[in-house]
Amino acid sequence: MSVELVAARCIVRPFVAADAPSIAAAANDRSIWLQLRDRFPHPCHLSDAEAWISRVGSLDPPQAFAIIVDGRAVGGVGLELMTDVNRRSAEIGYWLGTEHWGRGIATEAVALVSDWAFSAFGLVRILALPFAGNRASRRVLEKAGYALEGITRCSAVKDGALLDQCMYARVSSVAERFRQ
């Protein structure tokens, strides 16, 4: 399935092999790694980016997307589809190279992928779990239509620190109408 989502500041599309050098360069930043899950490598080498793209590139429909700015991959947005009783839900995660922070790019990318994912996967709920201290990421979610549902206390360990996470979610308009 070919997917290309376009906004004013970025394009979001599935990763391609040619994205590996720019993704490795943008991702190789400790300040990004500190806000993400440990499976996100640091340092991030070209081989890490190539392996990631190889793994996610075959998914159809796609679940991982490159954030493109000025023709270059500078970040990513991905979905983890849930199963069993949560099968109509997904978790969203995202990152953006530091040179592009504070420009609304991540907000646009998260909103684009969220809008697309509701229909593409028949989802009714998309959630995110940023670290509580990551105010910028929390603001991205709020601007993209996500609501804070609560704090999961002492729920993550990152770089040796025990952290709280915030539970954000966006529920589809179809689900909201169904509940009423």
Quick: pLDDT tens for 1-21. Answer: 689 999 999 999 999 999 999
- Phi first, then psi, for residue 77 (nearest 5°) are -135, 130
Q: Cβ distance 155 to 125 under 8 Å?
A: no
Q: Say what the pTM is.
A: 0.94
Angle of helix 46-56 relative to helix 20-27, nearest 10 degrees, comes to 120
pLDDT in single tens digits along all 180 residues of the chain: 689 999 999 999 999 999 999 999 999 999 999 999 999 999 999 999 999 999 998 888 999 999 999 999 999 999 999 999 999 999 999 999 999 999 999 999 999 999 999 999 999 999 999 999 999 999 999 999 999 999 999 999 999 999 999 999 999 987 766 665
Q: Cβ distance 78 to 52 under 8 Å?
A: no
**5-179 CATH, one of 1.20.20.10, 3.50.50.60, 3.40.630.30, 3.30.460.80:** 3.40.630.30
Structure tokens of 9? Answer: 């500041």
Domain ranges of the chain: 5-179
